[in-house]
Amino acid sequence: MNQFIYLVLGTIFGMLLSLAGATTFDFYAELFQFKNMQLSRVIASAVVVGMVGIFLMKRLKARAIMTGDEIHFDIKKPPKNWVWGSLLFGSGWALTGSCPGSAPAMLGEGKLIIIPVLLGVIAGTYLYALIQSASDKCVK
């Protein structure tokens, strides 16, 4: 049952990305050339909605839908290597003309050209996990 809920929510999210123009290569190119700031407004809207949502979740002591467990918000100090990771992430965005979050929605629209990007996202995630795992073993 949970997988069905995830599929429905993912489909709705993908449709919203598509409606917002976040699945259009040209919008990303124009964003990084500062010609069309539509995606900046979409991103800013998402940040505001997220901030309000987290504020309300904390205020109302929200519980997870699937498990019923209380949701905890731990404040962590960002690691120094986040700067390098964010630069790499942004470079990938600019080079591919797509965001890793909207890439599956692009595939859902039938844009098969996005497959190498998705493979890169998977490979990068795997590589990060390997590096993080090796780093954790060194610390212990």
Please say if the pLDDT value at position 136 is more than 80.
no
Under the banding of pLDDT at 50, 70 and 90, the label for residue 126 is very high
Q: Taking the domains of the chain in order of start, what are their residue ranges? A: 2-139
Which residue pairs, CB below 8 angstroms and at least 24 apart, start in 9-17? 10/104, 11/108, 13/105, 14/104, 14/105, 14/108, 15/105, 17/101, 17/102, 17/105
> What pLDDT, in 10s, does the model give residues 83-92?
888 888 888 8
Please indicate, yes or no, whether the overall pTM of this predicted structure exceeds 0.75.
Answer: no
> What pLDDT, in 10s, does the model give residues 45-68?
989 999 999 999 888 888 887 788
Comparing CA positions, the residue from 9, 17, 38, 8 lying closest to residue 114 is: 17
Would you say the C-alpha torsion 30, 94, 105, 13 has a positive or negative sign? negative
Whether 20 contacts 102, CB under 8 Å: no
pLDDT of amino acid 139: 61
Strand partners, 63: 70
